[in-house]
A and B are shown apart, each in its own frame.
Chain A
Amino acid sequence: MGAVLPRAQVGCWRHWLALVVMCSVALAGCGIAKDPLSVAVGDAGSSAATAALALEQHAQGRLTRSTAETMIDDARREAATAAKQVTQLTVGDQQADIQQDAMDVLARAARHLQQAARDIGSDRAEELIDELRDDADALAELESRAAASR
């Protein structure tokens, strides 16, 4: 490569970029993205599992209280966002009952998550871990049902 380089001009690449972005938005509208119900349910399941892990590891003395508390707080917030998304989604007939089941499980999980925040390190924790893991399993199953029903 030689030493002479013309002073570059900022060219028409912006037009190409805009075209690419617009096409993507159009494609996204065609539903190539993942099913939103399964995504939201999956996030909630992940939160329940996180809280269970936090309680369990704290009980075994492997997590500091502040870390466990932060994990559970983050999980509660994520579950709350997911629950709101599930409630506000407009779904087709094939997903209507999945959405209903999900809302029931999410309500239960929200209660458990709230208890988890209070009961870190208490005797109640072990029972709560099992309940949260059940919630996580139920939500995982709903997630696959939702993804399959699309």
Chain B
Amino acid sequence: MSKIFGVALGILTAIGGFVDIGDLVTNAVVGSRFGLSLVWVVVVGVIGISLFAHMSGKVTALSGRATFDIIRERLGPRAALANLTGSMAMTLLTLMAEIGGVALALQLLSGVVPVAYVLPVALLLWLVLWRVKFSILENVAGLMGLLLVAFIVALFQLGPDWGELGRQVVQQTPDTGENGLTYAFYAVALFGAAMTPYEVFFFSSGAAEDHWTKQDLWLSRLNVLIGFPLGGLLSIAIAGCAAVVLLPAGIGVSSLSQVVAPVGVALGVAGLVVVLVGVLAATAGAAIETALSCAYSIAQFAGWPWGKRLRPSQAPQFHAVLLGVIVIGCLVMLSGIDPIMVTEFSVVFSAVALPLTYFPILVVANDPQYVGENTNGPLLNLVAMIYLVIVMVAALAAIPLMILTNMGA
């Protein structure tokens, strides 16, 4: 019975933990300007992240080594350092965006300017990471993030023309006057938001924190095969709400208030409050994950002891890094910079950093030294190789598109 409970918990946290501020903003922007014509990107992204998260979880469960250890061992310290710098920069940027997202959600709930919340949020974030057990962190944030289901409920409540929405999904080209370059830019941004590179490091390190072994692999598969796609459905619902309420009104999303407004329109104040708590949980959970990812990556690269399963005094440098990245994130956000703009940069740079994460994982998942006889089958490798090509294309196109479209203006 408790086994079933554990499985259910895992799946639910995977759903609730899937969406972060990048998904919230990017899906809403896309829905408000392109309708549902970019849903195919979300589908491609969800399949991709499911694939790679599972591979990285598998490697950790079978070898006990977390991703960055293996990157250092397989690619050598110089390549690993280059990889670390790139991934870290992107993860740190995402951490800042998440801290900003929490502050924005609190503003919407209370009316107080977001900058006032940055310091308390950062402090609370650090405190929670200092004292609260890893499994509790995972579960609470993930379960409360499920409140975002309000977007799905709202979409149904709005009574949209499903035929019209379906047509947009299938047609894949928007009717609105947006040009092809902007479409391509948002496809790349949405892809970066769905494939969140830090998620893979976190998944693998989390597997080590939870002491996964070969027996737990089926659990990983279940989490990933059910949890992530359902999380993807949440993303699509966010875009759908924007497409139904904001697109016809000529409103282009540029703030969090516009992202959640359709839920208020559909479900009233009660629905709005529920979804805001969900946004709070999702962004706070993502802030926890990104902060931990930064610390995991650096500690694993350097060979230091790491993990929440150790006393802080047993992993002092790990905790020092954790404190350090939160301080940096806090200081940057205290400058009053617009969190939405930080979010938009973070998803674009996530797309750029994708090959850094995915290539090593594919290599390692095929290395018998780490996974024994459980190397990827030929089908899995074929799909993973295709994804590697997609990821390279997205990474190369991201910055040019960003410049050409002036950040998707």
Direct interface between A and B, CB < 8 A: yes
The interface-forming segment of B235-243, B314-322, B401-409 is B401-409
Contacts of B252 in A (CB 8 A): 42-43, 46
- Measured in the bound complex, the distance between the Cα atoms of B110 and A70 in whole Å is 10
CB pair A66–B403 under 8 Å, yes or no, is: no
Q: Is A8's beta carbon under 8 Å from chain B?
A: yes
Give the one of B75, B250, B265, B272 with max A CB within 10 A.
Answer: B250
CB pair A7–B79 under 8 Å, yes or no, is: yes
B231-289 contacts to A, CB under 8 A, are 249-252, 254-255, 257-258, 260-261, 264-265, 267-269, 272-273, 276
Partner among B78, B79, B255, B265 whose Cβ is within 8 Å of the Cβ of A57: B265
CB pair B409–A39 under 8 Å, yes or no, is: yes
With A34-B406, A63-B272, A64-B273 given, is the CB distance from A5 to B75 under 8 Å? Answer: yes
Q: Is A107's beta carbon under 8 Å from chain B?
A: no
Q: Is A24's beta carbon under 8 Å from chain B?
A: yes
- Measured in the bound complex, the distance between the Cα atoms of B393 and A94 in whole Å is 39
Contacts of A7 in B (CB 8 A): 75-76, 78-79
Q: Is A89's beta carbon under 8 Å from chain B?
A: no
CB pair A23–B400 under 8 Å, yes or no, is: yes
Q: Mark B33-62, 1 if CB is under 8 A from A, else 0.
A: 000000000000000000000000000000
- Measured in the bound complex, the distance between the Cα atoms of B192 and A118 in whole Å is 40
CB pair A70–B400 under 8 Å, yes or no, is: no
CB pair A64–B269 under 8 Å, yes or no, is: yes
CB pair B76–A24 under 8 Å, yes or no, is: no
CB pair B404–A28 under 8 Å, yes or no, is: yes
A104-150 contacts to B, CB under 8 A, are 136, 140, 144, 147
Partner among A20, A45, A62 whose Cβ is within 8 Å of the Cβ of B265: A62
Contacts of B273 in A (CB 8 A): 64
- Measured in the bound complex, the distance between the Cα atoms of B179 and A63 in whole Å is 34
* B275 CB to nearest A CB, Å: 10
CB pair A21–B272 under 8 Å, yes or no, is: no
Size range of the chain B interface in the assembly: 35 or more
Q: Is A50's beta carbon under 8 Å from chain B?
A: yes
B141-171 contacts to A, CB under 8 A, are none
CB pair A147–B177 under 8 Å, yes or no, is: yes
- Measured in the bound complex, the distance between the Cα atoms of B257 and A69 in whole Å is 10
Q: Is B182's beta carbon under 8 Å from chain A?
A: yes
Q: Is A25's beta carbon under 8 Å from chain B?
A: yes
Q: Which residue of A lies closest to B271 (CB)?
A: A62
CB pair B366–A1 under 8 Å, yes or no, is: yes
CB pair B250–A46 under 8 Å, yes or no, is: yes
Q: Is B111's beta carbon under 8 Å from chain A?
A: yes
- Measured in the bound complex, the distance between the Cα atoms of B297 and A56 in whole Å is 48
* B394 CB to nearest A CB, Å: 13
- Measured in the bound complex, the distance between the Cα atoms of B367 and A16 in whole Å is 30
CB pair B265–A9 under 8 Å, yes or no, is: no
CB pair A63–B264 under 8 Å, yes or no, is: yes
- Measured in the bound complex, the distance between the Cα atoms of B267 and A54 in whole Å is 15
Q: Is B2's beta carbon under 8 Å from chain A?
A: no
- Measured in the bound complex, the distance between the Cα atoms of B399 and A17 in whole Å is 9
CB pair A34–B107 under 8 Å, yes or no, is: no
With A10-B78, A34-B406, A62-B265 given, is the CB distance from A3 to B368 under 8 Å? Answer: yes
* B393 CB to nearest A CB, Å: 12
Contacts of B78 in A (CB 8 A): 7, 9-10
Q: Is B389's beta carbon under 8 Å from chain A?
A: no
CB pair A8–B268 under 8 Å, yes or no, is: no
- Measured in the bound complex, the distance between the Cα atoms of B273 and A43 in whole Å is 27
Partner among B79, B276, B369 whose Cβ is within 8 Å of the Cβ of A8: B79
CB pair A61–B268 under 8 Å, yes or no, is: yes
Q: Is A49's beta carbon under 8 Å from chain B?
A: yes
Contacts of B109 in A (CB 8 A): 64, 66
With A7-B79, A28-B403, A33-B409 given, is the CB distance from A50 to B258 under 8 Å? Answer: yes
Contacts of B276 in A (CB 8 A): 67
Give the one of B79, B111, B264 with max A CB within 10 A.
Answer: B264
Partner among B257, B363, B404 whose Cβ is within 8 Å of the Cβ of A67: B257
Q: Is B396's beta carbon under 8 Å from chain A?
A: yes
Q: List 17 A-B contacts (CB under 8 A).
A: A1-B367, A3-B369, A5-B367, A17-B396, A24-B401, A25-B403, A27-B400, A33-B181, A34-B179, A34-B409, A46-B251, A53-B251, A62-B269, A64-B269, A64-B273, A70-B111, A71-B258
Beyond the given pairs A7-B76, A71-B255, A74-B254, 15 more chain A to chain B contacts, judged by CB atoms under 8 angstroms and listed by A's residue number, are A5-B363, A10-B78, A24-B401, A24-B403, A27-B400, A32-B181, A50-B251, A53-B265, A64-B109, A64-B273, A66-B108, A71-B257, A78-B255, A140-B250, A144-B177
Residues of A bordering B, CB below 8 Å? 1, 3, 5, 7-10, 17, 20-21, 23-25, 27-28, 32-34, 36, 39, 42-43, 45-46, 49-50, 53-54, 57, 61-67, 69-71, 74, 78, 136, 140, 144, 147
Task: In the A-B complex, list the 9 residue pairs whose CB atoms are closest, starting with the nearest.
Answer: A7-B76, A66-B111, A24-B400, A74-B255, A71-B257, A8-B79, A1-B366, A46-B252, A63-B264
